Amino acid sequence: MSLTILKQGAEGRLYLGEYRGQACLVKERFVKKYRHPELDAQISKHRIKAEVKAIGRCESVGIKTPKIFHADVNERKIYMEYFSKAITAKEYIKHTVLKHNGESARPILDALCERIGSIVGKMHANNVIHGDLTTSNILINQQEDQSIGNEDIIFVDFGLSHYNQSLEDKGVDLYVLERALLSTHSEQPYLFDVILTAYRKECGKDEQNLLSKFEEVRARGRKRTMIG
């Protein structure tokens, strides 16, 4: 099968390929030569299984993710659904700001962030930790009817995900998202506040404890930033 490379990151490569005659995305965890071979194989196998399980758990509670067609721990590859017309939330936000001047972009971005916050809240309520929440790992798949709120929001790249009830891990997940938004979309500082408000409605019975833990994580992060 011929594969066309789309992207390479620290953890793996993404290819455009084919599975049983259908176009698909192929994620490969390549060998890390700096690791002992047995340890590298063990880590790769664990992370592939964790990614597939996290996607399955999200799908079971109605969170849109790529469908998994096949996973091969020996080949170190996951074959999954490919969204050819989707763009990242990062691109969507930037395009919206460019297209709509000033405050006219705000209702569109508010609607997007409310939905993202609700999805992350539902994810955490079901104890799925994404591990790398950024606007590059959220896809927006617009429908023919491009009215606000009609697009599909798809969470991708669960390569660092795990299943955990830990408030600390959920707080870190939120903090990673906040830092990503402030770094990438600094001219729209309200985005995370909208996400957090929607998140609180969906994150479950531990809302207060979870938010307290998030504030702790945030305080530690700010302290590290100040100290360097």
Active-site option among 40, 72, 110, 132:
132
What are φ and ψ of residue 79, in 5° steps? -105, 120
Q: How far apart are CA 127 and CA 44, in angstroms?
A: 22
Distance of alpha carbon 210 from the chain centroid: 19
Distance set, CA 77 to CA 84, 163, 183, 185 (Å): 20, 21, 31, 32
Cross-strand partners of 17: 24
- Check the CA dihedral 59-55-161-94 and report its sign: negative
* Whether residue 132 lies in the annotated active site: yes
HSE-up of residue 191 (Cα within 13 Å, Cβ side): 27
Long-range contacts of 48-52 (CB under 8 A, 24+ apart): 48/73, 48/76, 48/78, 49/73, 50/158, 50/161, 50/162, 50/163, 51/78, 51/158, 51/159, 51/161, 52/78
Q: How far apart are CA 92 and CA 90, in angstroms?
A: 5
Catalytic residues: 132
